[in-house]
Amino acid sequence: MMSRLAPRRPAWLFWWQAACPQGVSAQQRTWAGASRIPGTGSPWGATGTSPLVRRGSSSAFSCAPEVVLTRERYSVRRLPFSVVSEDDLAALERIVPGRVITDPEELEAPNVDWLRTVRGSSKVLLRPRTSQEVAHILRYCHERNLAVSPQGGNTGMVGGSTPVFDEIIVSTALMNQIVSFHNVSGVLVCQAGCVLEELSRYVEERGFVVPLDLGAKGSCHIGGNVATNAGGLRLLRYGSLRGTVLGLEVVLADGTILNCLTSLRKDNTGYDLKQLFIGSEGTLGVITAVSILCPPKPSAVNVAFLGCPGFAEVLQTFCTCRGMLGEILSAFEFMDAECMKLVGLHLHLACPVQESPFYVLIETSGSGAGHDAEKLSGFLEQVLGSGLVTDGTLATDQRRIKMLWALRERITEALSRDGYVYKYDLSLPLDRLYDLVSDLRARLGLHAKHVVGYGHLGDGNLHLNVTAEAFSPSLLGTLEPYVYEWTARQRGSVSAEHGLGFKKKDVLGYSKPPEALQLMQQLKALLDPKGILNPYKTLPTRT
The window from 10-18, 40-48, 272-280, 333-341 that contacts a copy of itself (CB under 8 A) reads: 272-280
The window from 13-21, 135-143, 406-414, 522-530 that contacts a copy of itself (CB under 8 A) reads: 522-530
Helix, strand or coil, per DSSP, at residue 179: strand
Q: Which residues of 446-467 are buried (b: 16+ CB within 10 A; e: fewer)?
A: eebbbbbbbbbbbbbbbbbbbb
| Interface residue with a copy of itself, options 508, 528, 531, 533 (CB under 8 A) | 508
Q: Residues 261-267: contacts with CB within 8 Å, 24+ apart?
A: 261/189, 261/289, 261/290, 261/291, 262/291, 263/182, 263/185, 263/187, 263/189, 263/291, 265/185, 265/293
Site residues for a copy of itself, 206-235, by CB under 8 A, read 228-229, 231, 235
Provide, rounded to whole angstroms, the least separation between the CB of residue 275 and a copy of itself: 4
Site residues for a copy of itself, 444-473, by CB under 8 A, read 456, 459-461
| Sheet containing 187-191, strands listed edge to edge, beginning at the edge strand earlier in sequence | 178-181, 187-191, 286-293, 245-251, 257-260
Site residues for a copy of itself, 394-453, by CB under 8 A, read 427, 429-431
Beta bridge partners of 148: 168, 533
Site residues for a copy of itself, 278-297, by CB under 8 A, read 278-280, 284, 296
Q: Does the protein bind a copy of itself through residue 539 (CB under 8 A)?
A: yes
Q: Are 391 and 12 in contact (CB under 8 A)?
A: no
Residue positions counted in the chain:
543
Contacts with a copy of itself by CB under 8 A: the residue count is 85
C-alpha distances in angstroms, 265 versus 242, 262, 293, 305? 12, 9, 8, 35
Q: Report d(CA 361, CA 305) in Å as an integer.
A: 5
Of 337 and 523, which has the nearer Cβ to a copy of itself? 523
Provide, rounded to whole angstroms, the least separation between the CB of residue 480 and a copy of itself: 15
| Sheet containing 300-308, strands listed edge to edge, beginning at the edge strand earlier in sequence | 391-395, 300-308, 358-366, 329-336, 450-456, 461-468, 420-427
| Interface residue with a copy of itself, options 23, 239, 310, 477 (CB under 8 A) | 239
| Interface residue with a copy of itself, options 129, 322, 417, 441 (CB under 8 A) | 322
Provide, rounded to whole angstroms, the least separation between the CB of residue 197 and a copy of itself: 22
Q: Are 74 and 128 in contact (CB under 8 A)?
A: no
| Interface residue with a copy of itself, options 63, 266, 470, 474 (CB under 8 A) | 266
> Which amino acid is it at 325?
L
Q: Report d(CA 173, CA 155) in Å as an integer.
A: 13
Site residues for a copy of itself, 129-158, by CB under 8 A, read none
Q: Does the protein bind a copy of itself through residue 488 (CB under 8 A)?
A: no
Of 2 and 13, which has the nearer Cβ to a copy of itself? 13
Provide, rounded to whole angstroms, the least separation between the CB of residue 324 and a copy of itself: 7
Q: Report d(CA 339, CA 408) in Å as an integer.
A: 9
302 closest CA partner among 10, 6, 9, 15 = 15
Provide, rounded to whole angstroms, the least separation between the CB of residue 259 and a copy of itself: 5
| Interface residue with a copy of itself, options 168, 325, 383, 451 (CB under 8 A) | 325
Site residues for a copy of itself, 168-187, by CB under 8 A, read 184-185
The window from 79-87, 106-114, 415-423, 517-525 that contacts a copy of itself (CB under 8 A) reads: 517-525
Provide, rounded to whole angstroms, the least separation between the CB of residue 267 and a copy of itself: 4
Q: Report d(CA 298, CA 536) in Å as an integer.
A: 42
Of 23 and 529, which has the nearer Cβ to a copy of itself? 529
